[in-house]
Amino acid sequence: MRLAVVVLIGVYGTSAHAEVALPTPLSAQDVAALARSRRSELIAAKARARAAAERPTIVSALDEPTISVSLDHVPFNMMGLDGSITVEQTFPLSRVRGNRKRAADAGARRELANTQRVGLVVELDAVEAFWMLAQLRAAAEIATRQHGLAKQLEAAALARYSSNTGTQSDVLRAKIETVRIAAEQRALAAEVRGAEVMLNTSIARDPSSPIPELDVSVPEAEPPTSTSVARASQARPELRAGRAEIEQAEAEARVMKSMYAPMAMVRTGPAYTMAEGEGWMLMVGLSIPIWRGKLRAGVAEANAMVDMATADLDAMRRMADGEAR
């Protein structure tokens, strides 16, 4: 019974998500808004950004304390024992926690910029599919008019031939033209169906759902100036993500450099000995980072990641400048 309820809920939820009433006529702005609100890619990107926003708290926290029960000495005659119950906590003696938090913050900013990039991509996909469908529907309408005109010309050629004022070749040419345009009509009809499927897919609808009439009016707005285009290109989400990636790589490099500092350990708690009775135990320790080769390799790797992120950002900036010009 529970399985049936879950299946029904899933079916209704899926159908409700797949079917949405489209306005008539459908405009490019409507398509862009539907794509931004319904596409799974954007939903996944937003979830990834929310997950990345939690990383700074996770990576900057101290390790969990450890509670230990120790029996240091138990005589064979079982006449007493030496033991303790301690709580152990480790913490770094460097700024590694702060560096990890800064790296995670930069990663969260990168994922947020990536979310904005995905939103623009899904909008662009939907708008491109919209105008492709509009173009094909207009071409199909033109082909329909051409087919009607070709049939009229064919009838006129046949009438002239019947009255001995035309030739048979004129009739054949008119028939061939009519057949050619009819074949073009069938091809355009298939392309229109494919464009409708693409538009439905771009706004997360059932591919077989009908598409209403399209509003192909274009607002009479002046095109943006070169200065506005250049300013917009510098604010692209890809560039913000690239800058955040550089900040993350630099913070990761500082994290690796912080590994040269030792880790401290404090263990304390009540203790009991047969000789002295109840008391208190305190232990302090330090880790010894002696494997310098591993640490140097980690720093070199992090610095290489910084160089890679810097080069990627420079390439994206050049691409944005070129597209703006």
Taken in order of first residue, the domains within the chain and their CATH numbers are 26-216+245-324 (1.20.1600.10)
Identify whether the C-beta of residue 93 lies closer than 8 Å to the C-beta of residue 263: yes
Rounded to the nearest 10 degrees, what angle do helices 96-162 and 40-59 cross at?
170
**Residues whose CB is less than 8 angstroms from the CB of residue 296 and which lie 6 or more positions away in sequence, other chains included:** none
Enter the tokens of residue 251: 């913070």
pLDDT of residue 2: 44
Residue numbers in the chain where pLDDT is lower than 50: 1-17
pLDDT of residue 218: 80
pLDDT of residue 14: 43
Enter the tokens of residue 15: 């159908």
pLDDT of residue 324: 66
**Residues whose CB is less than 8 angstroms from the CB of residue 283 and which lie 6 or more positions away in sequence, other chains included:** 86, 265, 266, 267, 268
Query: pTM, whole model, 2 decimals?
Result: 0.75
pLDDT of residue 12: 40
Main-chain phi, psi angles of 3, to 5 degrees: -60, -40
How many angstroms separate the Cα of 79 from the Cα of each of 84, 178, 205, 276, 280?
17, 112, 78, 15, 21
